[in-house]
Chains A and B, each alone.
Chain A
Amino acid sequence: MSAIRIENLSKTYDIRTTPAVRRLNLEVKEGEIFGFLGPNGAGKTSTIHLLLNLIRPTGGAAWLFDRPVGETEIHRRLGYLPESINLHDYYRGRGLLNFYAALCGVPPDARPARVAELLKLLNLEDAAEKRVSKYSKGMVQRIGFAQALLHDPNLLILDEPTASLDPVGRKEFRDILLELKQRGKTVFISSHILSEVETVCDRVAILQNGELKRMGTLQELSSGRSTRFVVKGLPAPLMEALATTAVQVTLAQGQATISCPDEPLRQTVEQLLRQHGVEIVRTETETQSLEEIFFATITPPPKL
């Protein structure tokens, strides 16, 4: 079963403007951490609002755990942390979590322990009796994350979850995500912080102008990666054959390193090495960073 399934999803707020989401198709499997990336105005938050049924699509449909997003009951398995979170600030920290726990259907006898556990996990124990209106941005983000975890949901939808966190908070947040992944939870995370997404996500999707540009694992997306073969000695005929290609050969300490800038050359070199019976000591693959993939994917905005 897929945790999220989106088919031809479109959203246009105003017919005079560009659609916020255009015929989007994607699937998030259960148990994976999925990064949802894109520049500002790409349609990430609109997609999340469509998944939460806060806005209506102008085309296509979406499902959570194979149930239409319009079904309220499906929200029992869902936790959500919005971008620029606003909370009912007349509560104290503990009171706010108790209120949301009650809405989520956490049994009254289990509520105090669950709330205390999350306050501890997110380092909010000292602020538990403080009014939420007195919280700092980082504390609001933490308690926002806590409310999303209250009912131990199977799917977490997080919109820019670390925007207001300091480096320590980000590290703690990453650890919680990895722990959730180990427990088989699905996380759909929209973020601008590419390095963070890179360390936790199994797959990513890159969106621009409401359109899906690319989707896959980092390795799949890193198609232009270079490969280096480290071999013992190079026979003269092979040297001549390699000289006719675009590979780079360096010799050091009785070993040769052959660098292939792209996939077709890698295949050619591998074939030549096999033909000449040369022993490959090791193969090194250089994967592009998510940032490189991201900037190679999106079209830069016109300069002002």
Chain B
Amino acid sequence: MKTIFLIATDSIRALLHQRLLLGLMLASLALTIFFSITMSSARKHITQNFSDDRMTNNPYMGTNQMSEVDRRKFRESMEGASTAIQAMFYQVASFGGSIVALFIFSTAVASEIRKGTIRLTLSKPVSRTQFLLGKYLGGVAVMAAFALLTSLAILVFAQTQSLELSPVIKWAPWLMFCRQLMLGSLAMLLSLFLHPIIASVLAFVAGNGFYSSPNPLYFILPSYKDFNVFFQVLQGSLLNVKDVAFLSLYAADFVVIMLLLALWRFRTKELV
């Protein structure tokens, strides 16, 4: 276990020194902020339009003098805009996170083989299983930090924009994290057979909701659909603890299967 943690720590250190990864993370955050500001402007625009309509129809009546019907309409528009902003925020953050996850996990082992550093590490009393699990764990730690950052960002953003958080949002960071770990485990497995870029593309495309629960393939092949809170926020669906627990188990089951397959492949892989 100690060896796995050592490899994981080294992996985190290596990731934090990768300019491309840091660039991707920053770009992802910047993109999220850009979309959020754009959506926030749209919200202000809706508010303005609504007020203008009221003023045009009755210049003597301000928004605080609206009728009950108008107030309800106004509240609904505001809620709709707020929900759309939050959904968009997580959609962009999730996409950025997925790109970061694909980068981290598809290159974790492949880059060590390409550079030849793996030869030195495996000449020490480190088994291939320890090495692979350590690399995965390192990636998990970085993705956890990224999910935490994103969650903090939405809290700060919601606070500054006086947004009321959608009920689904409290589960969103966790589901996003689970989705990225699933993506990552598949990308890592595929990178042991294919070039990391091809592995990343395949991992991303493979599980975008082609299978649903009654189909047995749902339990073997990935399905990221339910982990995407974008539609759930828009539809106003309510996720309960049971749903989240089931999704978490699904993700854990998927990750374990992918890691077992990766270990099977890695044990016999030629490392030069």
- Residues on A facing B (Cβ under 8 Å): 49, 52-56, 72-73, 75-76, 78-80, 82, 84-88, 90-91, 99-100, 102-105, 144, 147
Contacts and interface: CB of A to CB of B under 8 A. Distances in A.
Given A72-B126, A82-B116, A86-B117, 10 more contacts: A52-B119, A53-B122, A56-B268, A75-B126, A80-B120, A82-B120, A88-B13, A88-B14, A99-B10, A100-B124
B116 A84 contact: yes
A55 B125 contact: no
A289 B121 CA distance: 38
Contacts of B270: 54-56
Nearest to B128: A72
Interface string B246-272: 000000000000000000000010111
B125 A75 contact: yes
B127 interface: yes
Contacts of A53: 122
Contacts of A72: 125-127
A189 to B, nearest CB: 15
B121 A54 contact: no
Contacts, number: 67
A102 B271 contact: no
A102 to B, nearest CB: 5
A47 to B, nearest CB: 12
B6 A102 contact: yes
B3 interface: yes
A55 B268 CA distance: 8
B17 interface: yes
B1 to A, nearest CB: 13
A147 B125 contact: no
B123 interface: yes
A56 B6 CA distance: 26
A103 B126 contact: yes
A75 B123 contact: yes
Contacts of A82: 116, 119-120, 123
Top 6 A-B pairs ranked by shortest CB distance? A80-B123, A90-B17, A103-B124, A86-B116, A72-B127, A75-B125
Size category of the binding interface on chain B: 20 to 34
A75 B124 contact: yes
Given A54-B122, A72-B127, A76-B125, A103 B117 contact: no
A37 to B, nearest CB: 21
A54 B122 CA distance: 8
Given A87-B117, A88-B10, A88-B14, A55 B126 contact: no
Contacts of B117: 86-88
B115 interface: yes
A56 B128 CA distance: 14
A130 to B, nearest CB: 15
Contacts of A86: 115-117, 120
A85 B115 CA distance: 9
5 contacts: A52-B119, A55-B272, A75-B123, A80-B120, A86-B115
A55 B116 contact: no
Contacts of A105: 125
A79 B14 CA distance: 23
A52 B125 contact: no
A294 B272 CA distance: 28
